Structure 1
């Protein structure tokens, strides 16, 4: 016979044999709570916001309060002491790629600064960023950003040098044969980076296309790898090792698949990728990330929790963070820095104004991103 503990354990259901419950009550409660929360990550709140404001240029009217309520974070990247975020391009949002510092002693929540400048956020100017989506920083200090474009502007990859005054070092416009020129027929999502001995490759997904998109920085070319019958909404890349895998979340479904990136299929235009079913999540993931210790983290549409799975083991979903009702389809976004810190934003749209609508949280997880291999020595920078 089992005892079921719920509620006070943060939403996890934990079943234990009754014989574990027969010790003194206080000791039993401590034991049960400890076992239930064994997989939990202990986050610390860094900032809280009720609404956001921007670092506006001089002379701009900043009285439009509706803009400050319409900020929805989508994707995140971290480099040194800066945190970068893409914003849902709701009407009135002045910039969809922003940053703020994560160092210093101020406890006041920071304002959102456009990246790299206001000049690069002109609406319907196709030489500007129109709708930033997935992003990633690489080990050489570059920020890679997917730009969905607009009805008048094509989609692109932007690459910035964060170590040289945030200069733009590359803008790649996707050919029509790779990403549809029709705004209604494309939906760029996330991006991961694969540094090979002679190139820097990016893998990305378009949730309206039955393909994986590959981009080569060396040749400045992009191409499609076919996945007939399957569209993807999220992806994650395993750490550097011999049999490196690209993990893919199927659009509209709970299934998790993988494809080998060491095979020539992804490296050559016009091929079809052999994708393998790994398992099934509890819900559809919109964001996934793998750390240097082989742990895959996932967040799910309309769900108030995060899960993890160690990709070295048989597929098993484990909840690591759970909050109360959020009432939003995209409640979290997250990224890892080079010091083993997991950064995450949390959104609350329940209408309970006694609680902050937005939080920035951090937790030490002892591992860096997938780009640093499987070493757990955080003193290594190469």
Structure 2
């Protein structure tokens, strides 16, 4: 009988080591990623919502709605953690809308691109978020956190809300102890009874200065939503805006700060006023024309022969504003032409309200007599005129308007430095 083979005492250890190496070589299970559906109903003290398929590219031609509810007696605070939607100056293609309430609520804001807004706060315990995409997508969508906050906590960290008392005040976060924070979006919706108007005054005002109010600003709108056609004005700098009177019973005040410089902020006051007292309580000024005498002078004015007089130089100092731009909209109303001008350059601004959307700037003008001076959509002009109290430019038949060509820039740049 042959002798037995010598036993190796290390064999069990070698086998165990081999098994461990094989186990380590297997691919690890992929980490769990939360997946988001198209909209939904969410509730609780806090949670997250995100675009469909996030972090993958969101689908085209979709509209997703999320209804958020936090406990009764609290308000919803929504903070975007990530935002990547098709970029457009006016957010016309892919965008996220935020509303107060779950139905027919005031729109707090519309957002697109990649710049995250500041914390958005509802005026109740409900909020609606709606994302819309067109046929061409370009981005990963968004993810946002919602949380519940006590209404009284908004003064220090948040701002905005619905104001319905006959009089009251509103102010920027941290007022008056320190500067307002960066990256804040606030909307105050003031609602008076149907037969009353709203008078608005700013007591103190200090918002980062910029010629076109592109960075931090306050915008005031007639009505209950952000609508450029109803915008009364856009303000920044350290001079309080002139008192504002609403057209009807609603005003919307929007405050926005970007992610850079901040300032002291502001405090504003409002009060309701009966419509029927307006004719006796508003003092007449040298520029006010009694309503009964408006029609005839305007008709006579527009019947005169339309002929441009003077030169760029001779009209420069007598004009409140001097701009060059392209006519992008032109609508006839009651014999006047209401136009939006995409600005090429501003040589004299006065109190002209200039709107900033991304890198594009525009202003609204009224040509009192639609045929004089005659302007057409799509063409470039030098436009000089006066400015109404609401910041719109007003162009009369004797105002100076002419086609703009690049060679005109030299003389306009020289006049910009002229002391009138």
The TM-score bracket by the shorter chain reads under 0.3
User: TM-score, normalising length from structure 2?
Assistant: 0.26
Q: TM-score, normalised by structure 1?
A: 0.27
More helix by share: 2
